[in-house]
Structure 1
Amino acid sequence: MIGGILTAAVLAATTAAADPAMETETIIDGIYLRDSTQRARVTDLTMSVESFSRKLAGDGSIKEEKRFLKTDFIKDTLFRVDFHEFYLDGLRQDGAALRKEIKTDADRRRKGRNRDANINPAAVFYPAARANYEFSLKGIENREGRACYHIAADCQVEKDGLVEGDYWFETEGLNLVFVQFHPAKLPGPIKQLDMEIAFAPDSAGWWLPRRFHLLGRGKVMLFIKFNFEAEERYFDHRLNTGLTDDFFKERADEE
Structure 2
Amino acid sequence: MSATAVRRRARRGSGLGLVAWLAGVVFFLPVAWMALTSFHSEADAATNPPSFTASLTLDGYREFFGTGGGASPWPALINSTVASVASTVCVLLLALPAAYALSVRPVRKWTNVLFFFLSTKMLPAVAGLLPIYLFAKNAGMLDNIWLLVVLYTSMNLPIAVWMMQSFLAEVPVAVIEAARVDGASLPVILARVVAPIALPGIAATALICFIFSWNELLFARVLTGVVAGTAPVFLTGFITSQGLFLAKVCAASLVVSLPVLAAGFAAQDKLVQGLSLGAVK
TM range (shorter): under 0.3
Flag the structure with higher strand content: 1
> Which structure would you say has the larger RCO, counting Cα contacts within 8 Å and 6 or more residues apart?
2
| TM-score normalised by length of structure 2 | 0.23
Flag the structure with higher helix content: 2
